[in-house]
Amino acid sequence: MNRMIIVAAASFLVSVSVSAQSNEFIDGLLETPAVTLGQVSYLVLVASDNLGEDADEARAFEQLESLGWAPSGGKAGDPVTLAAFSSVLMQAFGLKGGLMYSFFPNRRYAYRELASLQVIQGRSDPGDRVDGIMAVRMLGRIFDVTGANR
Amino acid sequence: MNRAVRASVAALFIACFPAFVSTWDYGLGFSDQSSMVVEDDFNATQSNRARAWFSSPFPAGMRLDLSGFYDFRGTYSTADTGSEIVPLRLDVDRLELAGTFADLLTNSSVLRYSVGRADVSDFSGRVISGPSDGAHAEFALGNSTYRAWGGYRGLLYKEDARSFLDIDDDSNYSDDDEYFAPSRAFIGVGARFAELLGAQDAGAELWAQVDLGSGSTKTNTVYFEPYLEGRLGRLFRWRAWTVAEAGSDGDAFFAMAAGTMLRLSVPELKGFRLTQTMSWASGSDGNFKAFTPLRQGPVGSASPFSFSDILSVGMDASFSPVRHLSAKAGGSALYRSSDNPPSGGGLRDDAVGKFLGLEVSSGASLRVASDATLDFSCGMFAPNTSDMYPEGTKIRWTASLSASLEI
């Protein structure tokens, strides 16, 4: 049942914002226990219109680096932490963040901001790995938040 | 501790430490509160708190939450009591090791447990609330939840514990050299059945408190608290509860308390909420004695009364006119339950009625950012001078401004 909800959510995202992302990518992502920086780059950059939909994960990660949003020293195959994923989401969708984030726009305060916005739900830590289902859920909630802000 | 034990502890720590420091989290919070009360005299209080917290997964699927604070508090008064400064108070407000076992009996059962210092509250929050040292277990099975608590309150700061069960507690509270609360232990058990009848929940809790102090009076108490709570359509929520207290302080005594709440919520109307409440605590009258909970709390925001020998009937409204700003206003009528002087004192000798006065309050909360908030509140209590308080008794005014920042 839970899987069906996620697939439905992913399908909704696909239809609304990431129409050209392959079904294979979404299927693969949902099966991933720890998403990588490459997968995050592709998912977030395409969903935020920062990347063409025909790109691949390697190209997406290059774009993330060129935008200056990639964690320093990170590689495309590295598993992403919740804090790092939060930072990518904050920057890709142009979220303003709290008082501390406006002074120090780093991963720590990005994580705090998304926890405050309920994009991150339940007990978690900034260093936690992100599985594919969680990544899709968080992206969906980002759409809710940015839709409310605009 | 001999060398082998030390080595074992060190080895265990070294083995476990990397497992939970890899994903730990921490933070600091700062809060400032300035408040004043104007009645016959002017009283102002300044309170500043810096709070540090640490949270981490722990071996065996557990989780550790730890927080402590530094508190400064200064009071200024034009009354004879004068001013006071408590320049340094360091304390722990949370030290909790918690864990969960899922699918214990069936795939819809969950057992949660915790040990350490954490907040404990009964259903109404009128018997016990705030931090306590002890253990808690909660077993959820389908639509029912069973809970058990056990703890000790003698290691709490007396202002946090707010224990006023007998004259020994009163002496402890007024003793400036005493930091800790009276030595009292408690246990509690409870069961809650969700959606027992439609959208209505039902439950009951049983609490017991044992006096472990060496004072002149031994006061032991038991509280039975059945309750109902539910929804009426989409817009209304309601709750009703009652507490029957039985105890012994040399002689057996009985006391009661009860409360109701009905709330209208219209989220699409700027988050509008209208809440009607009634709460009653018995006074010493006939077969009853004044209600004495484990932790005594105020009954209003501007009046001086605590939840004993009191009846409060109130209504308040809140809404959010713009994003990040919420505002509220309300009022309540206060009555004494018995013919005795209520906790606030100051009644005239020939007071014959029950109506103590009217309380009105308002406030606003602004969320400046996700990590910074500003709160303002003010209120007044107009005493009934027609047949309860002496003529010329002044209105009691209160105001409070607080700010907080999380980093």
Are A94 and A67 spatial neighbours (Cβ–Cβ below 8 Å)? no
pLDDT for the residue numbered A4: 45
Do the Cβ atoms of B25 and A126 come within 8 Å?
yes
pLDDT for the residue numbered A1: 42
pLDDT for the residue numbered B22: 57
Residue A100, chain B, CB below 8 Å: the answer is yes
Min Cα–Cα distance to chain A from B251, Å? 48
Q: Is residue A145 predicted with pLDDT exceeding 90? A: no
Are A49 and A55 spatial neighbours (Cβ–Cβ below 8 Å)? no
Nearest to A36 by CA among A88, A1, A100: A88
Round to whole Å and give the CA distance between B70 and B91: 7
pLDDT for the residue numbered A7: 46
Q: Between chain A and chain B, how many beta carbons pairs sit less than 8 Å apart?
A: 38
pLDDT for the residue numbered A3: 46
pLDDT for the residue numbered B18: 47
Round to whole Å and give the CA distance between B285 and B337: 8
Strand B84-102 relative to strand B325-335, pairing: unpaired
Q: Is residue A16 predicted with pLDDT exceeding 80? A: no
Tokens 């699918």 correspond to B103
Q: Give burial (CB, 10 Å; 0-12/13-18/19+) of B44.
A: middle
pLDDT for the residue numbered B256: 96
Counting residues of chain A whose pLDDT is more than 70, the rounded percentage is 83
Q: Which residue of A has its CA nearest to B370?
A: A98
- State the DSSP string of chain A: -HHHHHHHHHHHHHHHT-TTS-HHHHHHHHH-SS-BHHHHHHHHHHHTTSS-TT--HHHHHHHHHHTT-SPTT--TTSBPBHHHHHHHHHHHTT----HHHHH--SHHHHHHHHHHTTSS-SS--TT-B--HHHHHHHHHHHHHHHHHH-
* Phi, psi of A30, rounded to the nearest 5 degrees: -65, -25
- State the DSSP string of B247-306: EESSSEEEEEEEEEEEEEEETTTTTEEEEEEEEEE--SBTTB-----SS--BSSSSS--B
Do the Cβ atoms of B371 and A128 come within 8 Å?
no
- Whole-model pTM: value is 0.85
Round to whole Å and give the CA distance between B68 and B53: 7
The neighbouring-strand residues paired with B361 are B330, B379
Residues in chain A closer than 8 A to B57 (CB atoms) = 125
> Any idea where the domains of chain B sit in the sequence?
25-406
Q: Is residue A150 predicted with pLDDT exceeding 80? A: no
Residue B345, helix vs strand vs coil: coil
Are A70 and A64 spatial neighbours (Cβ–Cβ below 8 Å)? yes
Residue A128, chain B, CB below 8 Å: the answer is yes
Round to whole Å and give the CA distance between A56 and A25: 10
- Smallest Cβ–Cβ distance between B371 and the set A112, A123, A128 belongs to A112
Architecture of domain B25-406: Beta Barrel (2.40)
Nearest to A6 by CA among A28, A29, A30: A30
* Phi, psi of B400, rounded to the nearest 5 degrees: -150, 140
Min Cα–Cα distance to chain A from B55, Å? 8
Residue A4, chain B, CB below 8 Å: the answer is no
Cα dist. B4→B15, B16, B170 in Å? 16, 18, 48
pLDDT along chain B (407 residues), means of 10: 57 52 82 94 94 89 92 90 81 94 81 96 96 96 95 95 93 91 97 93 97 90 98 95 95 95 96 97 88 94 92 97 94 92 79 92 94 96 92 94 95
pLDDT for the residue numbered B12: 55
- Smallest Cβ–Cβ distance between B369 and the set A98, A123, A128 belongs to A98
pLDDT for the residue numbered B300: 87
Round to whole Å and give the CA distance between B218 and A11: 66
- State the DSSP string of A23-60: HHHHHHHHH-SS-BHHHHHHHHHHHTTSS-TT--HHHH
Q: Please give the distance of CA B343 from its chain centroid, rounded to a whole number.
A: 18
Residue A116, chain B, CB below 8 Å: the answer is yes
Residue B167, helix vs strand vs coil: helix
Residue A1, chain B, CB below 8 Å: the answer is no
pLDDT for the residue numbered B314: 97
- Per the prediction, chain A carries an average pLDDT of 83
* Phi, psi of B64, rounded to the nearest 5 degrees: -110, 125
pLDDT for the residue numbered B61: 80
Q: Is residue A149 predicted with pLDDT exceeding 50? A: no
Q: Which two tokens stand for residue B297?
A: 């709390």
Residue A112, chain B, CB below 8 Å: the answer is yes
Round to whole Å and give the CA distance between B394 and B273: 32
Residue B325, chain A, CB below 8 Å: the answer is no
Residue B322, chain A, CB below 8 Å: the answer is no
Q: Which two tokens stand for residue B75?
A: 């009071």
Average pLDDT over residues A2-31: 58
Are B331 and B166 spatial neighbours (Cβ–Cβ below 8 Å)? no
For residues B196-206, b (16+ Cβ closer than 10 Å) or e, as one string? Answer: eeeeebbbebe
Q: Please give the distance of CA A64 from its chain centroid, rounded to a whole number.
A: 12
Residue A150, chain B, CB below 8 Å: the answer is no
Q: Is residue A131 predicted with pLDDT exceeding 60? A: yes
Residues contacting residue B332 through CB under 8 Å, at least 6 positions apart:
B277, B300, B312, B313, B314, B315, B358, B359
Do the Cβ atoms of B56 and A125 come within 8 Å?
yes
- Smallest Cβ–Cβ distance between B407 and the set A100, A125, A127 belongs to A100
